[in-house]
Chain A
Amino acid sequence: MRLLVIEDDKDINRQIVAALEHAGYAVDHALDGEEGYFLGDTEPYDAVVLDIGLPKKDGITILEAWRANGRMMPVLILTARDRWSEKVQGFDAGADDYLAKPFHMEELLARIRALLRRATGHATNELVCGSVRLDTKSGRVIVDGAPIKLTSHEYRLLAYLMHHSGRIVSRTEIIEHLYDQDFDRDSNTIEVFVGRLRRKLGVDLIQTVRGLGYMAAPPVETTDGKR
């Protein structure tokens, strides 16, 4: 899951990015409106944390421009402006949630989780696929009742695939959603991660769809043993 944080206060920006990365997301950040708008308009983010009072381009303008361009990722507005008239303006511009400063980081994380879940059509924090259970709140992965340890990249890969379980996810899409923009992208690393993940999970969860990508799906039990 790759997120974008647009916030002009350096301290808050740093804190949010650290907290989100700690929670297992790939995070890009921008300190002004123009850069933020450009990133959000060109990179495929799964969710955006957006301040309203930004230098160069304000949050509402950015959001409206994205929506006009068909960028439909969930956006959480984070601002000190907490009047209802300002909130309504934010929602009408296309925001999916609104959090007023000062905020508790836990609340921000919970709202982000909820946004990601809603965007992929899940009802709870817990993603289940076959015998694999992934709790997006605690970041724990349980296979057949036993917890397993994953690196942050492995966790991100699994979480992304499980958020979109039953759908083929291309390698490019995985790269775009797993790494922040500063990461040295190399599609071979994906294969390496998939291999390691399969080994750690021990169950047949991640299918390779030749020429297209990967798909998380529970193993299909068939009488003749074929898939």
Chain B
Amino acid sequence: MRLPRLPENSIATRLFLTAAASSFIVLLIASLFFTAYYRRETEVVFERRLEVYLRALVADVAQSGEEGHTDPGQLGDPQFELPGSGWYWQITRMDGATQDIKASRSLFANRLPKLADRGVAAELGGFRRGFVEGPDGRRLRIVERVIDVGDMGVYLVQVAASDEEMEEQIERFHFALMVAFTMLAIALAIVAAFQVRFGLRPLRRLQQELSAIRRGEDERISGAYPSEIAPLANELNLLIGANRDILERARTQVGNLAHALKTPLSVIVNEAYSTPSPLADKVSEQATIMREQIGFYLDRARAAARGGAIGASTQVAPCLDGLLRAFRKIYAERNIAFIGEASADMRFLGERQDFEEMIGNLLDNAGKWATREVVITIVAETPPTPDARSFLCITIDDDGPGLTPDQIREATQRGRRLDETKPGSGLGLSIVADLAVAYGGALELEKNAAGGLRARLRAPGF
């Protein structure tokens, strides 16, 4: 089984760890309490048993004193008969010149030490309790009492027993308790893990939906969410929608501005053209500069509006087909073949217009210089890690004269035009480079095997 890793800063980890820690602490306290309680109860029972034997002996002594003989020992417990069993009793006559001692058989020839000699205080009722070392070195729990039977003398009655058995019993209980509580703790941890997984599943789903939107596979968050995060999902949808609207509006405004400026500029240029004069030449020249500037800054504005775009994605194949159809028409006169295709499931992660702008400018540039053909190939790169952003690698080759390294450097600079004799604004390659950067990709130019120019564009997609 794969152990789920616990990321440090995660709600799941926090919930799981607090649940596990709190149940562990509760179980620990409970086990300590139960053990202590059980020990106390067991000791009480044990003490009572000793006391019962002691009372029986005391009663025996008192009775036998009256009757003139003593034969205690009929306590009914065979443990007292077996030597070294750990259960002992001893009756010592205290008032005689010689100490007359009777003891259980189990004590054999040994004698029990006296608590009274050690200065243990007597309880109410004359009992003394304590621990002594037994004949075989075992620890004994002992209860003793002095009784005065008048004429019959004064006796010290002692009952002692090893508490080993009791300790073993407590130990066994403790072990059983530990096993039970450990299993309980494991069960609780499993329940907590399950609870966290189940409870946080909507969050995980939300995260998946968001990343699908970011990848451009989805338009909006669509699932039904529990009441705690449903407002969050709604807000996110609104945010994504607003982002799209702002972008769309900005683009429309930019387009309108372009239209509004370019038409009067056309009029000026044409008017100057139709009435040749030094003034007209100047007007024409300045209007051309204005035209270039408008183009340059509008393209920049459009490029800047990118980047922030959330979750747009574009099917590559229809875009490319459309562009190739257009280019075959545009370059029909010069008979240049435009060759290329993209697989149907390929997607560019961004706005369609931007993709067409980048590929269109690259194809146009290639077409201007090509002598016979322009070849475009699009492949999806395999990302280095499964979580990394995936990219499309778009290569456009022409069989034209190519560029020197210096020219290549110049071409991708802003607003430079390589050859004034070729038609076009000259901003094509640099706007492609700008757009590519805005999308986190890059544009590279180099010489291909045929001596022509190869443009390599990296753009997000799969």
Show the binding face of A for B, using Cβ within 8 Å: 9, 11-12, 15-16, 18-19, 53, 80-85, 87-88, 90-92, 95-98, 100-107, 114, 118
Contact = CB atoms under 8 A, between A and B. Distances in A.
Interface stretch (B56-64, B322-330, B411-419): B322-330
Interface stretch (B5-13, B65-73, B350-358, B380-388): B350-358
Contacts of A83: 255, 353, 356-357
B259 A9 contact: no
Contacts, number: 97
Interface of B: 255, 258-259, 261-263, 265-271, 273-274, 287, 291, 295, 319, 322-323, 325-326, 329-330, 332-333, 352-353, 356-357, 359-361, 364, 423
B252 to A, nearest CB: 11
A80 B261 CA distance: 9
A15 B269 CA distance: 10
Given A81-B255, A84-B361, A105 B263 contact: no
Contacts of A90: 326
Given A19-B270, A80-B259, A88 B353 contact: no
14 contacts: A12-B267, A15-B274, A82-B295, A83-B353, A83-B356, A84-B323, A84-B357, A101-B265, A102-B266, A105-B273, A105-B274, A106-B273, A107-B423, A114-B333
Nearest to A52: B259
A15 B360 CA distance: 30
Nearest to A94: B329
A95 B356 CA distance: 18
Contact of B323 (A19, A88, A106): A88
Contacts of B423: 107
Contact of B287 (A12, A91, A100, A102): A102
A16 B274 CA distance: 10
Contact of B258 (A15, A81, A98, A118): A81
B326 A80 contact: no
Contacts of A95: 329
A53 B266 CA distance: 15
B258 A80 contact: yes
B330 A101 contact: no
Residues of B contacting A: mostly: helix
Shortest 8 CB-CB contacts between residues of A and residues of B: A84-B360, A80-B262, A91-B326, A102-B266, A88-B322, A15-B270, A80-B259, A11-B267
B353 A12 contact: no
Given A9-B267, A11-B267, A88 B258 contact: no
A98 B267 contact: no
B262 A18 contact: no
A90 B423 CA distance: 20
Contacts of B329: 91, 95-97
A18 B275 CA distance: 12
Contacts of B359: 84
A106 B273 CA distance: 9
Nearest to B353: A85
Contact of B263 (A87, A88, A101, A104): A101
Given A81-B255, A103-B266, A114-B333, 4 more contacts: A15-B274, A85-B356, A88-B323, A88-B325
B259 A84 contact: no
A101 B255 CA distance: 13
A43 B360 CA distance: 35
A73 to B, nearest CB: 15
A11 B271 CA distance: 9
Contacts of B361: 84
Contact of B330 (A11, A53, A97): A97
A53 B259 contact: yes
Contacts of A97: 329-330
A9 B323 contact: no
B333 A105 contact: no
Contacts of B263: 9, 12, 80, 101-102
Q: Which of A11, A19, A90, A97 has the most CB of B within 10 A?
A: A11
A90 B325 CA distance: 11
Q: Which of A80, A106, A118 has the most CB of B within 10 A?
A: A80
Contact of B352 (A53, A85, A87, A106): A85
A48 to B, nearest CB: 15
